[in-house]
């Protein structure tokens, strides 16, 4: 393959595939790669070797499950990247790992930005993600056109790793809000309130959160539970929060209680279940 592409996307899961398709619709040429041949088959053109992405793309977007895999992939592609290449990591990852990779990339003449996202596969498909970005000023400026295509808003959070600090805290709050929603609904129902009416009312009050505004009507009250984000993925993010809190020497009591509940839920809810199943779990437990 002699063609050069505007962007390479490594990781064609639900998020990565949707981002790749959004970038194509913006008029850019995109090359895909995934370790799964089944996922690769969903996007064309794609390559069979991850190193080929680095050889043919000056901008590379990562959408991967965890820090260990991000480190493995970056280690594989860096020797094949041209100087000036930009790597945008949209994975939810360990901030310390992001800082280490940013330094390693810089030593190779490559820019690395940690830019985890919020908004799910639907937001990736619509180009309406919220992006939390960390990196050098030059790297963030280089990444801005791609942020503008993929997202409705980007917050430049600070230096390398800062994007993932914000994302970890965001997901810790989401995990807590799901548990709180389950407990609040259970208490209201025991008092005789209609479940749908209660949820709609709480979505309008000062105690509301995105869980009440989006998750409950879309995935919980409908019994759909098909958000595309699993219990296993949220448990991974909760573990990242626990590790982050320990590293900072802080002990946030309420978020700690929520993370304990997520660990406890594994005895009942498998990692494959939709993460919104926490709402009925917490309600039954309360």
User: Please, what sign has the CA dihedral across residues 265, 269, 271, 274?
Assistant: negative
167 is annotated as an active-site residue: yes
pLDDT of 275-284, one tens digit each? 999 999 999 9
| 165-285 and 7-160 share a CATH fold | no
The one-character DSSP state at 229 is -
**Phi and psi at residue 134, to the nearest 5°:** -130, 140
pTM given for the model: 0.95
Three-class SS of residue 13?
A: coil
- Is the backbone peptide bond immediately before 62 cis, with ω within 30 degrees of 0? no
How far is it, in rounded angstroms, from Cα 223 to Cα 127? 27
pLDDT at 75: 98
Is the predicted pLDDT of residue 15 greater than 90, yes or no? yes
Give residue 286's pLDDT. 80
Note the pLDDT tens digit of each residue in 203-232: 999 999 999 999 999 999 999 999 999 999
Quickly state the pLDDT bin for 66 (edges 50, 70, 90): very high
Check whether domain 165-285 has CATH 1.10.1040.10, yes or no: yes
pLDDT given for residue 249 in this prediction: 97
- Whole-number average pLDDT of the chain: 97
Q: What is the mean pLDDT of residues 52-58?
A: 97
pLDDT digits (tens, 9 = 90+) for 226-277: 999 999 999 999 999 999 999 999 999 999 999 999 999 999 999 999 999 9
Annotated active-site residue in 144, 167, 190, 277: 167
Q: Give me the mean pLDDT over the 122-145 stretch.
A: 97
> What is the CATH T-level fold of the domain 7-160, as seen in this structure?
Rossmann fold (3.40.50)
Is the peptide bond between 154 and the residue preceding it cis, with omega within 30 degrees of 0?
A: no
3-state secondary structure of 110: coil
pLDDT tens-place string over residues 74-89: 999 999 999 999 999 9
Asked if residues 154 and 241 have their Cβ atoms less than 8 Å apart, the reply is no
Local confidence band at 2 (pLDDT 50, 70, 90 cut-offs): confident
Domain ranges of the chain: 7-160, 165-285
């Amino acid at each position: 393959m002699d063609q050069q592409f505007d962007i390479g996307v490594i990781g064609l899961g639900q998020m990565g595939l949707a981002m790749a398709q959004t970038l194509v619709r913006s008029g850019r040429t995109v090359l895909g790669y995934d370790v799964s041949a089944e996922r690769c088959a969903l996007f064309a053109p794609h390559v069979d070797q991850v190193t080929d992405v680095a050889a043919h793309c000056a901008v590379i977007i990562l959408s991967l499950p965890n820090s260990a895999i991000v480190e493995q992939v970056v280690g594989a592609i860096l020797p094949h990247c041209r100087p000036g290449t930009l790597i945008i990591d949209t994975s939810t990852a360990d901030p310390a790992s992001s800082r280490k990779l940013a330094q390693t990339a810089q030593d190779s003449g490559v820019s690395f930005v940690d830019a985890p996202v919020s908004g799910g596969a639907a937001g990736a498909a619509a180009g309406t993600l919220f992006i939390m970005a960390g990196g050098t000023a030059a790297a963030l400026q280089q990444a801005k056109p791609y942020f503008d295509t993929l997202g409705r808003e980007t917050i430049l959070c600070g230096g390398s790793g800062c994007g993932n600090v914000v994302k970890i805290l965001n997901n810790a709050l989401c995990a807590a809000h799901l548990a709180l929603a389950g407990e609040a609904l259970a208490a209201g129902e025991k008092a005789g309130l209609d479940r749908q009416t209660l949820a709609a009312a709480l979505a309008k009050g000062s105690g509301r959160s995105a869980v009440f505004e989006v998750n409950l009507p879309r995935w919980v009250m409908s019994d759909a539970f098909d958000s595309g984000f699993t219990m296993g993925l949220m448990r991974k993010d909760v573990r990242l929060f626990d590790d982050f809190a320990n590293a900072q020497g802080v002990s946030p009591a309420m978020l700690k209680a929520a993370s304990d509940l997520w660990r406890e839920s594994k005895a009942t809810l498998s990692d494959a279940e939709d993460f919104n199943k926490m709402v009925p779990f917490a309600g039954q437990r309360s």
